[in-house]
Amino acid sequence: MQSNNARMANPLPIFDGHNDILLNLHLPERGSNRSFFVESDRGHLDLPRMRKGGFGGGFFAVFVPNTAGTVKEEDIIKTENGYEFPLAPAIEYDYALKTALAVTARLFRIEAESEGQVKVVRTSDDLETSLHNGTIAAILHFEGAEAIDPDLDALEVFYQAGLRSLGIVWSRTNIFGHGVPFRFPHSPDTGPGLTELGKKLVRACNRLGIMIDLSHITEKGFWDVEQLSDKPLVATHSNVHALCPCPRNLTDKQLDAIQASDGMVGLNFAVSFLRNDGYNDANTPIETMVRHIDYLVEHLGIDHVGLGSDFDGATVPQDIKDVTGLPKLLAALREHGYDEAALQKITHENWLRVLRKTWQK
Ligand code: ZN
């Protein structure tokens, strides 16, 4: 299945802030008939393509879709200078828990069947070792806390199973807080912040050592976490609002707070969060990604920027195409003046530092 050659140490393993492969493998319409282990031309990720692209691992999202589907093209409302999607309705706990269990189990089965090629990492030492020896390092991440009950019993259990990162909300409302709708142009200030339960969840995540992901949360929710959390602030897959004014992207003020907390931002490859017209058009040059990285580096410093592709969850620039296109992004950054030390930070060192501080083990 795997030549020894491909497992030799890669000086720039790319650790990635967000992917949706687990959901893709789970949903029939997204390709649940394909295998993680077999190269495909569907989706953006599978093990052979990860090897080709120098993908060292990342946050593997457990996302619970709305039963009626999530973001559907036919729901789009065109506005004078952009678009609006209605906010997805909230989902039921029982359904969310059942689905989260099934999607989480998928990751553990991949690990078990991988003959040591994939490891679900639970400590920063695990992560560092995996990145250096060529094992794909997977962080179990929940995108939206709908599978967590108000008593946080499920949080304790999922933590013991390996949960190390949690987005309190996806772009919908739950008992803990409110997510931003997909809309353009608009600020991320689209609704209320954390509920009292949401505040309890933040404290519990701090105590356990579960990273809190701020991508998808309303601006008020962002500031609530900023007030409460004693860990670095992280947006795993968001971009620069000044360059692409959609609610999923971060304002300069939010970037300042992330910087002050020693946190970081992972660059989202979704073209609708990159382009200044907000269009979901794959014909978007890699240069557009470089512009967001430049802005993030200027505002945050090189120690606070990483990648958060959104592979298997978004339309990415056609020149990137899928995970095998990652070297093209690195080449564009090199051409743009980023040296190897800077690329090491962007590809994995910054994630390692932030996770070490957050997990404290
Ligand atoms: Zn997302």
Q: pLDDT tens digits, residue range 317-351?
A: 999 999 999 999 999 999 999 999 999 999 999 99
Q: How far is the CA of 345 from the centre of ligand 1 (A)?
A: 23
Q: For residue 193, what are its two tokens?
A: 């912040």
Calculate how far, in angstroms, residue 3's C-alpha sits from the geometric centre of ligand 1. 33
Distance (Å) from CA 171 to ligand 1 centroid: 8
pLDDT band with cut points at 50, 70 and 90 for residue 290 = very high
Ligand 1: centre distance to CA 236 (Å): 9
- Centre of ligand 1 from the C-alpha of residue 2, in Å: 31
Q: CA angle 101-107-111, nearest 5°?
A: 140
State in Å: Cα 127 to ligand 1 middle.
Answer: 22
Judge whether residue 249 has pLDDT over 70. Answer: yes
Residue 3 has pLDDT above 80, yes or no: no
Confidence label for 85 from pLDDT (cuts 50, 70 and 90): confident
Report residue 297's pLDDT band, with 50, 70 and 90 as the boundaries.
very high
Any idea how long the chain is?
361
Distance 84 CA to ligand 1 centre (A): 17
Residue 125 is predicted with a pLDDT of 98
| Predicted pLDDT at 68 | 76
Is the separation of the CB atoms in 211 and 164 below 8 Å? yes
Q: pLDDT value at position 76?
A: 85
Distance from Cα 216 to the centre of ligand 1, integer Å: 7
133-152 pLDDT, tens digit each? 999 999 999 999 999 999 99
The alpha carbon of 170 and the centre of ligand 1 are apart by a number of angstroms equal to 7
Which three-class secondary structure state does DSSP give residue 166?
strand
- For residue 16, the CA-to-ligand 1 centroid distance in Å is 13
Mean pLDDT of 222-245: 98
Tell me: pLDDT of 5 over 50: no
Question: What pTM value is reported for the model?
Answer: 0.96
Can you tell me the distance from the alpha carbon of 268 to that of 314, in angstroms, rounded to the nearest whole number?
Answer: 9
**Measured between alpha carbons, how far is 286 from 274 in angstroms, rounded to an integer?**
10
**DSSP per-residue letters across 65-103:** --TT-SS-GGG-EEETTEEE-PPBPP--HHHHHHHHHHH
Which comes out higher in pLDDT, residue 73 or 25? 25
Average pLDDT of span 116-140: 98
Say how many Å lie between the CA of residue 249 and the centre of ligand 1: 11
Rounded Cα distance, 340 and 344, in Å: 6
User: What percent of the chain shows pLDDT beyond 70?
Assistant: 96
How many Å lie between the centroid of ligand 1 and the Cα of residue 309?
A: 10
C-alpha 63 to ligand 1 mean position (Å):
9
CA of 303 to the centre of ligand 1 (A): 23
> Residue 9 Cα, ligand 1 centroid: separation in angstroms?
30
163-173 residue pLDDT tens: 999 999 999 99
What distance in angstroms lies between residue 235's CA and the mean position of ligand 1's atoms? 10
266 C-alpha to ligand 1 centroid (Å): 12
Radius of gyration of the chain (CA): 19
Q: Which of 200, 192, 229 is nearest to 213 (CA)?
A: 229
